[in-house]
Amino acid sequence: MERILPWFNFKHSASESAWNGYLAAARCPPQEIGTNLKPLLLELFPRIYHWSWEHSLAEIATQIVVELAVIRKDHPDGLIPNEARHCLRNMNDQNRREAVFRLSLIGQREDDGWSLYVIPFINTVWPRERKFRTSTLVSSWVSLLESTGENFPSVLRAVRKFLVPVEGESHWLYRFSRDMGGDPPLTEKYPEVVLELLDAVVPNSAEDAPYELAQILDLVEQTDPSLVRDRRFIRLINLIEQT
């Protein structure tokens, strides 16, 4: 606390080495140390990109930010929504994608992780500015949704506002069209919810229609034939007929 903690101050000559060692350990420190480091952690992004490090350390920093904001938000060393949002805004798009991936792990790892941790984080923390709704982030959100199981409808309601049409992606919806590990695709369980997802992410261009779109729509029709009259289904099936 007296000798080493001052090294983390960004004005100290040992700052880069101190943060490198901290992140290389790949774990959150004891609460007392974490509480004292928190004001500096809030400024680590985007400063971390000015150091000539390999990407893995920025990835670890992202994981720590998410864990402190999700699991330890009520502890002295945790991050409250405004603090976590500040960090996310200062990350690059790749690290924001890794933040989404970490949320997916937490949702699967923790008991009731989706409802207790992930959905509240998405609703109260994730930045809502349009510039953060990129196609690469949409792909990450869709990957997260694939792993939600019975929580798929409620998680999609939280994520929906961050979804935009994705162009130039062909093989990224395959888990909605086929069994994975013995589990039926989400389309068989939630055909209308999957249709809502497709309507949000598939652009109105036949050239950009995902490869799996026809197969997913066939599965939607088999599961709930009434949806063929839905305006979203009609728009998407028209794209297929144009190809």
- CA 48 to CA 66: how far, in whole Å? 16
Spatial separation of the C-alpha atoms in residues 207 and 172, rounded to whole Å: 15
Strand spans (E) along 8-101: none
2 domain residue, yes or no: yes
Per-residue pLDDT tens listing for the chain (243 residues): 899 999 999 999 999 999 999 999 888 888 999 999 999 999 999 999 999 887 899 999 999 999 999 999 999 999 999 999 999 999 999 999 999 999 999 999 999 999 999 999 999 999 999 999 998 899 999 999 999 999 999 999 999 999 999 887 656 788 898 776 678 899 999 999 999 999 999 999 888 888 889 999 999 999 999 999 999 999 999 999 987
Q: Indicate whether 145 belongs to any domain.
A: no
Q: Is residue 217 part of a domain?
A: no
**Is residue 149, in this structure, part of any structural domain at all?**
no
Neighbours of 104 (CB within 10 A): 22
Q: Tell me the residue range of the domain where 22 lies.
A: 1-129
Quick count: other Cβ atoms within 10 Å of Cβ 56? 11
The structure tokens listed for 97 are 């994608």
In one letter, which amino acid is 57?
L
- Number of folded domains that form the chain: 1
Element (H, E) at 199: helix 191-201
